[in-house]
Amino acid sequence: MSIQLCVMITRKVTVIKKFLNIFSNKKASDVPSNTSHKPSSKSEGGISDLINFVDYVVKSLVDDPSKAEVKLETAANGNNSINIKCSKPDIGKVIGKNGKTIMAIRALVAGAASRLNKQVNVEVLEDIAG
CATH number at residue 86: 3.30.300.20
Mean of the pLDDT values across residues 82-88?
92
- Surface-to-core class of residue 70, CB atoms within 10 Å of its CB (0-12 exposed, 13-18 middle, 19+ buried): buried
Domain housing 46: 3-126
Higher pLDDT residue, 76 or 21? 76
What is the rounded CA–CA span in Å between residue 61 and residue 89?
12
Q: Does the model's pTM come out above 0.85?
A: no
Are the C-beta atoms of 91 and 49 separated by less than 8 Å? no
Strands (E), 1-130: 69-74, 80-86, 120-126
Q: What is the pLDDT of residues 3-58, one digit of tens each?
A: 665 566 666 666 666 666 655 554 444 444 443 334 444 445 688 899 999 999 99
The number of folded domains in the chain is: 1
